[in-house]
Amino acid sequence: MDLKASLSDPALLRTDAYIDGRWQGTDRHLAVTDPATGAHLADVSDLTPAEAERAILAAQAAGAAWAARTARDRSDLIRRWADLMMAAQDDLALILTSEMGKPLTEARGEIAYGASFLYWFAEEARRVYGDTIPGHQPDKRLLILKQPIGVVASITPWNFPNAMIARKVAPALAAGCTFVARPAAQTPLSALAMVELAHRAGIPKGVFNVVPSSDSAGMGRLFCEHPVVRKITFTGSTRVGEILMRQSAGQIKKLGLELGGNAPFLVFDDADLDAAVEGAMIAKFRNGGQTCVCANRLLVQASVHDAFAEKLARRVAVLKVGDGREQGTEIGPLIDTSAVTKVEEHVANALSAGARLLTGGKRHDKGGSYFQPTVLTDVRPGMAVMTEETFGPLAPLIRFETEEEGIGLANDTEFGLASYFYAQNLSRVWRVMEQLEAGMVGVNTGLISTPEAPFGGIKSSGLGREGSKYGMDDFLELKYVCLSL
Ligand SMILES: NC(=O)c1ccc[n+]([C@@H]2O[C@H](COP(=O)([O-])OP(=O)(O)OC[C@H]3O[C@@H](n4cnc5c(N)ncnc54)[C@H](O)[C@@H]3O)[C@@H](O)[C@H]2O)c1
Ligand SMILES: O=C[C@H](O)CS(=O)(=O)O
């Protein structure tokens, strides 16, 4: 498929780096391929860390003027950018599905989700309030100023190639910071289309820069070790988050870490089972199971287990697997064949230890990186699916007897990002929500992400929050002024 010819605005398909307001090519390129077909989509500039440093210096040069603009100015520019993103929703979704694989309906949803962070922080920009504090002496006046951190660098994953950048760049620019984004090498086209639209919106040169690169580790070291970069905002695995923490410790660099998950999805005996099944379908199979907040373990109270398992397996068995561009596709290809191998290994590990297959369980007949949506039951502690993030369309069911046992199983993980449970008894709802060790809890819902709410986790799932009124604080420094009259 000729992606550029398929766009109503072919100029959105950009392949060079965007630094200091200019498109800049290199003599090395990284190939972007279509996970649905394996077809070559584009060759994108592949920057070395030395070349990417130009973006850091451009962001530094642009910083003072951007911070000096009124909040209203920054707000208007960010909102105009969001308007342009929504006007280009179909093209941006086609670019996203082509490089990442998710169904077009979900890609369109991601563009709206990404834009919603721009709209949200366009408003928050104008509400960065300081404080005055009653003085400790008659001639003292105490002030609190909130000022932008400075140059921010982002490293983001392939699974939400628009929204994961939008959720970071929006508060950063709203706060008066400038930004250098290094997108995942698998999905740079979405980031480059975003910055094309930022350029059209009038975001000044140097404020938002995008540096594609296949040198993940090298770019990480550049951001961690460069003194001009004052904050790194990372979304990805806990493994890499730990590397970045170690690498940036020498400069006490501010970090925002949105890391791995292992979300429990509890179904109690007083749950509405039909609602729980629909919630599980969203929480488990959205983006083919390739989201950090996916239900990784489905914990079902024994008395309702068989009824829930039968309903769920029936729904999963008829999910339409295919190219994300085909009408009606519900499950696209996984990002690559190594992702398929991981799902296969989790299924084999569970079956060999006594789990039972209810539906799916194998690579899809379509070949490539397609996998059958799968439900296992009789899963037990000690199996890989209980401790590792599967990141694919695999729903493992685990029985539990008592509420206490269910909560104990849910919390038995190093992670603490999202969690979900279905119950109707009000006292139980309060008990469970208070005891779950997670940054986010969905009660009788499988979809919790929204810009109004703080997104983030505890334990090995990360540091900080993105979105909500709390999301601005991560891009601001507090300055205390003691004024003597
Ligand atoms: N908490 C969240 O909001 C969130 C969102 C999406 C994905 N994730 C997590 O991300 C993981 C899946 O995404 P992934 O496979 O792309 O994760 P990953 O950690 O392998 O890669 C994430 C990004 O880091 C880069 N990277 C890899 N090694 C690096 C290094 N040594 N130094 C600097 N950067 C490096 C990658 O190129 C990519 O751009 C899962 O664990 C998922 O839970 C978390
Ligand atoms: O996995 C990445 C995203 O954070 C998931 S969500 O769309 O924000 O829920």
Q: Which of 216, 234, 262, 340 to mutate to test the pocket of ligand 1 (most atoms within 8 A of CB)?
A: 216
Q: What is the CATH number of the domain that holds 415?
A: 3.40.309.10
CB atoms within 10 A of CB 36: 23
Q: Are residues 241 and 161 in the same domain?
A: yes
Q: Are residues 365 and 473 in the same domain?
A: no
In a domain, residue 182? The reply is: yes
Which distant-in-sequence residues (6+ apart) come within 8 Å of 405 by Cβ?
Answer: none
In a domain, residue 218? The reply is: yes
In a domain, residue 451? The reply is: no
Q: Are residues 205 and 286 in the same domain?
A: no
- Spacing, Cα 220 to ligand 1 middle (Å): 11
Tell me the C-alpha distance between 101 and 37, whole Å.
9
Which distant-in-sequence residues (6+ apart) come within 8 Å of 180 by Cβ?
Answer: 52, 55, 56, 59, 151, 152, 153, 154, 209, 210, 211, 223, 229
Q: What is the 3-state secondary structure (H, E, C) of 227-279?
A: CCEEEEEEECCHHHHHHHHHHHHHHCCEEEEECCCCEEEEECCCCCHHHHHHH
Atom of ligand 1 nearest to the CA of 292: 43
Q: Are residues 62 and 172 in the same domain?
A: yes
CB atoms within 10 A of CB 334: 26
Q: Are residues 229 and 277 in the same domain?
A: no
As a whole number, the mean pLDDT across the chain is 98
Q: Are strands 254-258 and 462-463 parallel, antiparallel or unpaired?
A: antiparallel
Q: Are residues 228 and 347 in the same domain?
A: no
* Relative orientation angle of helices 426-435 and 403-411, to the nearest 10 degrees: 30
Residue 148 has pLDDT above 90, yes or no: yes
- Spacing, Cα 184 to ligand 1 middle (Å): 8
Residue 186 has pLDDT above 90, yes or no: yes
Query: Which tens digits make up the pLDDT trace of 216-238?
Result: 999 999 999 999 999 999 999 99
* DSSP-derived secondary structure letter, 444: S
Q: Are residues 355 and 270 in the same domain?
A: yes
| Protein residue with least CA distance to atom 30, ligand 1 | 217
Tell me the C-alpha distance between 232 and 245, whole Å.
10
Where does ligand 1 bind, in terms of residues with CB under 6 Å? 155-159, 184-185, 216-217, 220, 235-237, 240, 243, 258-261, 292, 389, 391, 417, 462
Backbone angles phi, psi at 450, to 5 degrees: -160, 150
Given 99, 106, 196, 258, the catalytic residue? 258
Tell me the C-alpha distance between 197 and 171, whole Å.
17
Q: Say what the pLDDT of residue 147 is.
A: 98
How many domains does the chain fold into? 2
Q: Are residues 289 and 250 in the same domain?
A: no
Atom of ligand 2 nearest to the CA of 258: 4
Atom of ligand 1 nearest to the CA of 183: 39
Give the residue numbers spanning the domain of 272. 264-443
- Spacing, Cα 262 to ligand 1 middle (Å): 15
- Spacing, Cα 357 to ligand 2 middle (Å): 28
Q: What is the CATH number of the domain that holds 73?
A: 3.40.605.10
Q: Which of 106, 455, 465, 468 to mutate to test the pocket of ligand 2 (most atoms within 8 A of CB)?
A: 455
Residue 184 has pLDDT above 90, yes or no: yes
Of the bound ligands, which one is closest to the alpha carbon of residue 449? 2
Query: Which tens digits make up the pLDDT trace of 76-101?
Result: 999 999 999 999 999 999 999 999 99
Of the bound ligands, which one is closest to the alpha carbon of residue 107? 2
Where does ligand 2 bind, in terms of residues with CB under 6 Å? 159-160, 291-293, 449
Task: For residue 432, give the nearest of 270, 261, 262 by alpha carbon.
Answer: 270
Which distant-in-sequence residues (6+ apart) come within 8 Å of 108 by Cβ?
Answer: 89, 90, 93
Question: E-strand spans in 315-447?
Answer: 356-359, 374-377, 394-400, 415-416, 418-422, 440-443
Q: Are residues 44 and 135 in the same domain?
A: yes
Q: Are residues 134 and 68 in the same domain?
A: yes
In a domain, residue 455? The reply is: no
| Protein residue with least CA distance to atom 6, ligand 2 | 449
- pTM score: 0.98
- Spacing, Cα 193 to ligand 1 middle (Å): 21
Atom of ligand 1 nearest to the CA of 238: 41
In a domain, residue 454? The reply is: no
Q: Are residues 198 and 313 in the same domain?
A: no
Q: Say what the pLDDT of residue 460 is.
A: 98
Q: Which of 162, 292, 296, 452 to mutate to test the pocket of ligand 2 (most atoms within 8 A of CB)?
A: 292
Atom of ligand 2 nearest to the CA of 448: 9
**What element of type H or E holds 40?**
strand 40-45
Atom of ligand 1 nearest to the CA of 158: 16
Of the bound ligands, which one is closest to the alpha carbon of residue 212? 1
- Spacing, Cα 293 to ligand 1 middle (Å): 14
99 is catalytic: no
Of the bound ligands, which one is closest to the alpha carbon of residue 238? 1
Q: Are residues 409 and 270 in the same domain?
A: yes
In a domain, residue 33? The reply is: yes
Of the bound ligands, which one is closest to the alpha carbon of residue 335? 1
In a domain, residue 126? The reply is: yes
In a domain, residue 34? The reply is: yes
- Spacing, Cα 469 to ligand 2 middle (Å): 18
Atom of ligand 1 nearest to the CA of 260: 43
Residue 476 has pLDDT above 90, yes or no: yes
Q: Which residues of 461-473 are buried (b: 16+ CB within 10 A; e: fewer)?
A: bbbbbbbbeebbb
Query: Which tens digits make up the pLDDT trace of 393-436?
Result: 999 999 999 999 999 999 999 999 999 999 999 999 999 999 99
Q: Say what the pLDDT of residue 1 is.
A: 79
- Spacing, Cα 36 to ligand 1 middle (Å): 21
